[in-house]
């Protein structure tokens, strides 16, 4: 497998009352070409910021800390500025945001919004770009007719808007699509449609997808690997089936335990007590240990990264002590 994107020690800093805080703290992962990877975490875990940082889009006053590296097939994205950076955004890496209504310009027709993104990256005339935009609309399951092209965002349903967002994100044929909670603002039935569409587009175009979500339910069966994020760090990374079958990190096990199950013996939901701490007051050592049922003395120290099985890593002391989690 060839690596499309390599992220090394990604840190995002925000100014805090007592010095900078790091909502994303030394995150490293790789995406292979053609892979679909889920980045899963609760609100406040830093997963969305991670997605934005990949395109150097962290909102002010936040910034990507020095020493971070995001490499797209050898091109260091974080070092780019101005025109070269603009050429990556949209053309190599597309992005879809959570709220499709807020993400569309209310005063421009959806067709023109797609056409303009095409023209921002490809040397096409207005007419050719329009033809392509209509084809894209049809590809995402919306009428590629002149009437469909002329519609405004407020005339579309939530699901249709998200389809438009996908068409815009794919307008310039990117290699990688970052989808930040693409279905969280939608009804469950529409969610499934959008995810199925996304899967179809991925196959047809050989896309690599980074799916950022808080919803483990949409991850199973639709992704190749899962990265579990907690308090600014990736705490577990595993192939999807392996993660659901053998969650190693107590946090992942807790997340899965708090999901209702259809099969197997009836058992009460087990929520994880407490909340994700805010970036200013993360505990020393393992950041999950105050909420962890299995915490013991070593957890006050920085936990090691251990390989649980082939391609399955976690950041926890339990693996080190030989205890099966």
Partner 1 sequence: MTTDGWLRQLWLRPAGRVGVILLVVMSLTAAIGPAFLPDPLAQPDLAQGGLRPPDQIHLLGTDYHSRDVMARVVTGARVSLAVAFGAVLLSITLGGMVGLAAGYLGSWIDAALMRLVDAALAIPRLFLLLIMVASMERIPLWLLIVAIGATGWFGTSRLVRAEVRRLRAMDFVRSAEALGATRRRILARHLLPNVLGPLTVATTLAVGDVILLEAGLSFLGLGVQPPTPSWGGMIMENKSFLVTAPWTSLAPGLAIVIAVVAVNLIGESLHQDPAPPLS
| Distance between CA atoms of residues 63 and 52, nearest Å | 11
User: 209 has which bridge partners?
Assistant: 36, 177
Taking the least distance from each CB to partner 1, the nearer of 4 and 93 is 93
Burial class (CB in 10 A: 0-12, 13-18, 19+), 125: exposed
Could you tell me the smallest distance in angstroms from the CB atom of residue 106 to partner 1? Answer: 5
Residue 95: name the closest of 137, 141, 56, 43 by CA. 56
Taking the least distance from each CB to partner 1, the nearer of 4 and 316 is 4
Helices assigned H by DSSP within the chain = 47-54, 82-88, 110-121, 126-139, 146-149, 158-169, 188-205, 240-245, 250-257, 317-320
Could you tell me the smallest distance in angstroms from the CB atom of residue 95 to partner 1? Answer: 4
Could you tell me the smallest distance in angstroms from the CB atom of residue 59 to partner 1? Answer: 7
Could you tell me the smallest distance in angstroms from the CB atom of residue 96 to partner 1? Answer: 8
Could you tell me the smallest distance in angstroms from the CB atom of residue 99 to partner 1? Answer: 6
Could you tell me the smallest distance in angstroms from the CB atom of residue 133 to partner 1? Answer: 14
CB atoms within 10 A of CB 33: 15
Taking the least distance from each CB to partner 1, the nearer of 168 and 238 is 168
Helices assigned H by DSSP within 221-275 = 240-245, 250-257
Residue 214: name the closest of 201, 226, 225, 197 by CA. 226
Could you tell me the smallest distance in angstroms from the CB atom of residue 108 to partner 1? Answer: 7
| Distance between CA atoms of residues 53 and 64, nearest Å | 7
Could you tell me the smallest distance in angstroms from the CB atom of residue 146 to partner 1? Answer: 16
Q: What is the DSSP letter of 74?
A: T
Whether 289 and 299 have beta carbons less than 8 Å apart is answered as: yes
Taking the least distance from each CB to partner 1, the nearer of 95 and 237 is 95
User: 237 has which bridge partners?
Assistant: 227, 313
Taking the least distance from each CB to partner 1, the nearer of 105 and 278 is 105
Q: Which residues bind partner 1 (CB under 8 A)?
A: 52, 55, 57, 59-60, 86-91, 94-95, 97-99, 101-108, 116-117, 120-121, 152, 154, 165, 168-169, 171-172
Backbone angles phi, psi at 271, to 5 degrees: -70, 155
- DSSP of 85-99: HHHHBTTTEEEE-S-
């Amino acid at each position: 497998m060839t690596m499309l994107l390599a992220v090394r020690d990604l840190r995002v800093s925000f100014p805090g009352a007592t010095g900078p805080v790091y909502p994303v703290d030394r995150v490293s992962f790789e995406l292979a070409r053609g892979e679909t990877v889920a980045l899963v975490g609760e609100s406040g875990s830093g997963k969305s910021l991670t997605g934005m940082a990949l395109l150097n889009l962290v909102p002010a006053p936040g910034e990507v800390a020095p020493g971070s590296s995001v490499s797209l097939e050898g091109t260091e994205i974080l070092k780019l500025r101005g025109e070269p950076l603009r050429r990556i955004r949209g053309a190599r890496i597309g992005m879809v945001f959570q709220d499709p209504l807020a993400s569309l310009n209310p005063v421009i027709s959806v067709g023109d919004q797609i056409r303009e993104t095409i023209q921002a990256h490809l040397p096409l005339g207005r007419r050719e770009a329009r033809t392509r935009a209509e084809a894209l609309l049809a590809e995402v399951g919306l009428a590629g007719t002149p009437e469909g092209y002329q519609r405004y965002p407020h005339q579309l349903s939530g699901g249709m808007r998200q389809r438009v967002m996908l068409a815009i994100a794919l307008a310039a044929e990117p290699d990688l699509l970052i989808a930040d909670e693409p279905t969280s603002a939608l009804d469950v039935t529409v969610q499934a449609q959008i995810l199925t569409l996304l899967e179809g587009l991925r196959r047809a175009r050989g896309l690599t997808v980074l799916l950022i979500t808080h919803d483990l339910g949409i991850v199973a069966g639709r992704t190749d690997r899962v990265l579990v994020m907690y308090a600014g760090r990736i705490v577990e990374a595993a192939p999807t089936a392996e993660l659901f079958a053998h969650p190693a990190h107590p946090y992942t096990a807790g997340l899965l335990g708090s999901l209702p199950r259809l099969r197997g013996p009836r058992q009460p939901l087990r929520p994880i007590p407490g909340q994700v701490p805010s970036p200013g007051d993360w505990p020393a050592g393992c950041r999950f240990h105050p909420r962890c049922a299995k915490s013991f003395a070593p957890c006050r120290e920085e936990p090691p990264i251990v390989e649980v099985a082939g391609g399955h890593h976690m950041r926890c002391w339990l693996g080190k002590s030989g205890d099966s989690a």
